Amino acid sequence: MSQPVQQRILKTAIPGPESAKLHQRRTKAFSESFGVTLPVFIESAGGGILVDVDGNHLIDLASGIAVTSVGASHPKVTEAVRKQVERFTHTGFLVTQYESAVQVAERLNALTPGDFEKQTGLFSTGAEAIENVVKISRTYTGRDAIVVLSHAYHGRTLLTMTMTAKNAPYKEGFGPFAPEVYRAPSPYPYRWSGHPDDIAQQAFDQLADQITTQIGAHNVAAIIMEPIQGEGGVIVPPAGYLAKVAEFARENGIVFVADEIQAGLGRTGDMFAVNHEGVVPDLITTAKALAGGLPLSAVTGRADIMSAVPAGGLGGTYSGNPVACAAAVAALDALVEEDLPGRARRIEAIAKPRLQALAGEGSHIGEVRGRGAMLAMEFVEPGTKIPDAAAAKQVANHANSNGVLTLTAGTYGNVIRLLPPLVIGEDLLTDALDVIEAGVGTLA
Ligand SMILES: *Cc1c(COP(=O)(O)O)cnc(C)c1O
């Protein structure tokens, strides 16, 4: 199997007639409660390109939401998957075992920060990893309360949507929510005032005060936060904030968890986003990029915490599926061997200055931010900080209909996120940035 030609090619309008036909069938057959960014249907994908059923080659700045960091058909991953499905597809790791699950655990234990004995548990989805990190932290500490941040995204299951901050569409109508989830304010430098150091201190003081006076530190099992908030709008906390929270957690016997499901595994230019801050969490959750596109998630961290739950307390039918594990071993090897964190830094070096150049005085772009290949533009009404979701949508629509797939995000829906595969070619990236620049140019 060869990768599609790495070039943007438009043969029809986007979506084209074949996609439109399929979308009509989808609308009838498939629950309409699922959204879609761009209603095209994909026939093949790889590198930085998605090929749709009309033969259009779209530049991928989404990676299926930060999943296909190694590309959607990395030769090592597809070969590992092919070999594994020929041997066996499933045994149930709770029933009989296979080496690849152990290999994934060993690799994650080695790649994650922290010079202590570590263990890993494998699951299938990101939300499931978060659910389990809560179960583990509660058992280990004998406490109930979970502290999360505003603008957080942790998933769509009952517990994880409770932990997620944004009401519509994630929570609206789905209550009652899970108890014992508390929310502290997230430091959002663009929307808070003052020096970043002061914002870090203020946000930390509010969290510590809330925990001490309203919950009781001795009741808190875990503090769970994204080191860069993805769905919330690629919010990068001010330097020093995560370290203060980690230290407070340590002093109070609280498990400090970094949800690296979106930011982890090379995306931000380091293997984990906490590494930029020198912060060592007790536990780290990973998923999205872990298995090169197959569903696999993990909780990794301090061995004494990871084995606190009695045997049989964790797991699931598909936990650590062997096909996903084979893919993960290949994807993690590619991540290291091809220095994909280095590629993420290169993407930032190319893209960030170009985006920043669009964000001049009186423009619709209030801020360009992010790290590595996790970048974003926040759209506002010119001269103000009033969120302008319509502007973000207009630029995203322009990009999408010109063959550049982008994602919007943000609590106010006014952020465009760039999450390209880390293997994207520089010519493709430059072409995509030209299209985005033209899209920003359409704003009055
Ligand atoms: C996507 C995401 C999740 C949920 O992962 P799913 O696989 O969709 O359940 C949790 N946390 C973060 C930070 C995410 O980006």
DSSP 66-123: HT-TT-TT-HHHHHHHHHHHHH-S---TTTS--HHHHHHHHHHHHHSS-SS-EEEEEE
Under DSSP, the state recorded for 228 is S
Q: Ligand 1: distance of its center to the CA of 123 in Å?
A: 13
Segment 288-297, tens digit of pLDDT = 999 999 999 9
pTM above 0.75, yes or no: yes
Domain match, 106 and 22 both: no
| Whole-number Cα distances in Å, 382 to 242, 322, 393, 408, 410 | 32, 52, 16, 19, 18
Total number of domains constituting the chain: 2
Radius of gyration of the chain (CA): 21
Q: Are residues 297 and 357 in the same domain?
A: no
Ligand 1, residues 262, 286, 294: which to mutate, most atoms within 8 A of Cβ? 262
- The domain that holds 122 is classified in CATH as 3.40.640.10
**Range(s) of the domain holding residue 216:** 77-337
- Minimum-distance ligand 1 atom for the alpha carbon of 288: 7
Kindly list the distances between the CA atom of residue 109 and the CA atoms of 87, 104, 327, 394, in Å, as whole numbers in the listed order.
27, 9, 17, 43
Please check whether residues 228 and 365 belong to one and the same domain.
Answer: no
Q: How far apart (Å, rounded) are the C-alpha atoms in residues 74 and 95? A: 30
Q: Are residues 303 and 329 in the same domain?
A: yes
Instruction: Indicate the angle between helix axes 196-210 and 241-251, nearest 10 degrees.
Output: 30
148 and 122 share one domain: yes
Contacts of 91 (CB under 8 A, 6+ apart): 97, 98, 322
pLDDT on residue 361: 82
Q: What are the pLDDT digits (tens) for 298-316? A: 999 999 999 999 999 999 9
> In this structure, are residues 228 and 273 in contact, taking their beta carbons and an 8 Å threshold?
yes
Cα–Cα distances in Å, from 4 out to 71, 79, 228, 403, 443?
11, 17, 32, 15, 33
d(CA 107, CA 209): 38
- The number of the ligand 1 atom at minimal distance from the alpha carbon of 229 is 13
The preferred substitution site among 157, 162, 288, 299 for testing ligand 1, maximizing ligand atoms within 8 Å of CB, is 288
Cα–Cα distances in Å, from 239 out to 68, 120, 136, 209, 229? 28, 28, 29, 20, 14
CB neighbour list of residue 85: distance below 8 Å, 6 or more residues apart: 323
Residue 4 lies in a domain: no
Indicate if 101 and 146 belong to the same structural domain: yes
- Nearest residue (CA) to ligand 1, atom 5: 126
Mean pLDDT of 220-228: 99
Residue 329 belongs to some domain of the structure: yes
User: What CA–CA distance (Å, rounded) separates 155 from 152?
Assistant: 9
| pLDDT at position 34 | 97
Pairing label, strands 415-418, 145-149: unpaired
Distance between start and end Cα atoms, the chain: 45
CATH number at residue 436: 3.90.1150.10
Question: Do 59 and 431 contact (CB within 8 A), yes or no?
Answer: yes
Q: How far is the CA of 7 from the centre of ligand 1 (A)?
A: 30
Chosen domain end from 337, 354, 387: 337
- pLDDT the model gives residue 1: 58
Considering the domain boundaries, does residue 273 fall inside one?
Answer: yes
Please check the confidence at residue 2 and state whether its pLDDT lies above 80: no
Q: What is the SS3 assignment for 59?
A: strand
Ligand 1 center from residue 127 Cα (angstroms): 6
Closest approach atom of ligand 1 to CA 230: 15
Shared-domain flag, residues 141 and 283: yes
Write out pLDDT tens, residues 153-203: 999 999 999 999 999 999 999 999 999 999 999 999 999 999 999 999 999
Pairing of strands 407-409, 415-418: antiparallel
Which ligand 1 atom minimizes the distance to the CA of 130?
Answer: 10
Q: Is residue 251 part of a domain?
A: yes
281 and 259 share one domain: yes
Q: Quick check: 165 and 149 in contact, CB under 8 A?
A: yes
**Is 303 inside a domain boundary?**
yes
Q: Specify whether 260 is located in the same domain as 390.
A: no
Classify residue 172: in a domain, yes or no: yes
Q: How far is the CA of 155 from the centre of ligand 1 (A)?
A: 5
Rounded to 5°, the CA angle 301-306-310 comes to 175
| Residue 7 located in a structural domain | no
Ligand 1 atom with least separation from CA of 127:
9
Residue 2 lies inside a defined structural domain of this protein: no
CA of 443 to the centre of ligand 1 (A): 32
77-121 pLDDT, tens digit per residue, is: 999 999 999 999 999 999 999 999 999 999 999 999 999 999 999
pLDDT of residue 362: 86
pLDDT tens per residue across span 14-40: 999 999 999 999 999 999 999 999 999
Same domain membership, residue 230 and residue 116: yes
What pLDDT is attached to residue 360?
A: 83
Domain boundary among 337, 353, 383: 337
- Verify that 184 and 129 share a domain, yes or no: yes
Q: Measuring from each residue's beta carbon to the nearest atom of ligand 1, which residues come in under 6 Å? A: 125-127, 130, 153-155, 226, 230-231, 259, 261-262, 287
Q: Are residues 325 and 367 in the same domain?
A: no
| Residue where one domain finishes, among candidates 317, 337, 357 | 337
